[in-house]
Amino acid sequence: GDLEREIISKNLPQPVTSHTFYDMARAADGTWTAPGPLAGAGDAFRFAGSREAVAALPDGSVQVLGIGLDGNVWHNVRSADGGWQGWHALPAADNKKTGFAAKDIAITGMPNGDSQITAIGQDGYTYHNIRHTDGSWQGWAAMAGDDSGLVKATKVAIAGMPNGSSQVLVYGADGRMRLDTRAADGGWSGWSTVSGVGAPDFAGPALSIAALPDGDSQIAAIGLDGHVWHNVRRANGSWTGWDSPSGPGGGPMGASAVAVAGLPDGDSQLVAVGLDGNVYHAVRDRDGDWTPFRAVPGLRGAGTFAGDQVGIAGLPDGSSRLLLTSR
C-alpha cells in the first residue's frame, strides 16, 4: 500500500514484528509434512524473531538463519538425519563480541559444503560471511558499492552457483534492484541494475534468488504493483525477461512475501504469502511451465498455513524444506 511504497522510496525503518519460526518439508513426490515450531535458543521454548532464511547443503543438511528478538543474527543446522544442532549467535563484524545486529539476512549452500551469508547491518550496509564445512566462520566483510564505497540496501538475497560462484541480489537504498557476482576465487564483478517491467529498473518490497544446475539463476520478486514476478538470468549473462505466474484464482499472484529454490532436476519451487495471509506453493518445471499455486497445509489439520514470511531450499534428494513464520 501507500505506507509500504513510502518505506521503500524513502528507505525508512520497517516495523519489527515478532514471528514464531516453523519448519516443514515437501517430499519429492509432492507430499507434505506438518509444520512444527523450531525450538528456541537457550531456555526459550520456541524461536521467535523478525527475519528468517534457509539453505540446503550437498550432504542433505539444512542451515537456518533468524534475526532474534535481540536484533542479532542466529544460526542453526538441521542434519540430514533430522537432528538440530541448536542456535548460536553470530559474532559482531569486529569479532570482539557476540551479536551481529541486522535488518535483513540471506543464506545459500555452496557445492563444496560451505555456506555463504549476506546481511544488512543496522548501519544499512551490506555484509558477506562464509561458514566453512568445519563450522568455522570467515568473518563479516562489508560489500563495496558502485562508487568504491560501501553499498547500502534494504533487502538482500544470495544464491550459490554450481561453479562455486555466488550471486547477491539487493534492493539498494534508492529502491533499485542490483546484482553482484562473487567468483569462486573471492573476486567480485561489481553491481549491475536489473531492468524492470516497462521501467528502467525493478523495484519492490521483496526479492529472492536461486541457482539451477545448468548455471542459470532465477529471481522471484514482488513488484510495486504487489504481484509476484519471475525472471531467469542465463549462465551466459542474458535475461529471459519478467513474467508473472498466475495466482489461485487465475489472475496475477498478489503477495507480501516470496522465496524461490532450485531443484537438482532443473525444476524450481516458489512459495509466497498471499494477500489473504495464507502460504502458497507452485512448481516451475525445467521447460518453464508453472503448476497452479496451491495452499500449503496448515497446523493441526487446518486447511492452510497462515504466515508472514517464507523461505525454501531444494535438497539433493528432490525434496524441499520450508521455513515459515507466523504471528
CATH code of residue 307: 2.120.10.70
**What's the rounded Cα separation, in Å, for the pair 260 and 245?**
13
Residue 98, all three cell numbers: 557476540
DSSP assignment string, 97-140: SB--BEEEEEEEE-TTS-EEEEEEETTSBEEEEEE-TTS-B---
**What's the rounded Cα separation, in Å, for the pair 254 and 214?**
29
Q: What is residue 319's predicted lDDT score, i.e. its pLDDT?
A: 98
Q: What is residue 147's predicted lDDT score, i.e. its pLDDT?
A: 64
Q: What is residue 304's predicted lDDT score, i.e. its pLDDT?
A: 81
Using alpha carbons, select from 181, 188, 288, 185 the residue that is nearest to residue 235: 181
DSSP reduced 3-state for 305 = coil
Residue 113, all three cell numbers: 559444503
CA dihedral 269, 275, 279, 284 (to 10 degrees): -10
Question: Angle at the Cα of 46 (from 61 to 22), degrees rounded to 5?
Answer: 50
User: Do residues 66 and 21 make contact, with C-beta atoms less than 8 angstroms apart?
Assistant: yes
Distances (CA, A) of 25 to 126, 243, 294, 301: 30, 27, 15, 15
End-to-end CA distance of the chain: 21
**What's the rounded Cα separation, in Å, for the pair 115 and 111?**
9
Using alpha carbons, select from 253, 255, 234, 257 the residue that is nearest to residue 244: 253
For 314, which DSSP code? E
For 14, which DSSP code? P
- The residues facing 284 across adjacent strands are 268, 290
Q: How many CB atoms lie under 10 A from the CB of residue 183?
A: 13
Q: How many CB atoms lie under 10 A from the CB of residue 267?
A: 19
**What's the rounded Cα separation, in Å, for the pair 215 and 204?**
26
Q: Which residue range forms the structural domain that includes residue 6? A: 2-326
- The residues facing 153 across adjacent strands are 172
Tally of structural domains, the chain? 1
pLDDT one digit per residue (tens) for the chain, 327 residues = 443 334 334 443 344 457 999 999 999 999 999 999 999 998 889 999 999 999 999 999 999 999 999 999 999 999 999 999 999 999 998 766 778 999 999 999 999 999 999 999 999 999 999 999 999 999 999 999 866 578 899 999 999 999 999 999 999 999 999 999 999 999 999 999 999 998 999 999 999 999 999 999 999 999 999 999 999 999 999 999 999 999 988 889 999 999 999 999 999 999 999 999 999 999 999 999 999 999 998 865 567 888 899 999 999 999 999 999 987
The pair phi, psi for residue 6, each rounded to 5°, is: -65, -40
Using alpha carbons, select from 107, 175, 110, 190 the residue that is nearest to residue 144: 190
Q: What is residue 216's predicted lDDT score, i.e. its pLDDT?
A: 98
Residues constituting the chain: 327
- The residues facing 184 across adjacent strands are none
Specify the pTM.
0.92
Residue 71, all three cell numbers: 536484533
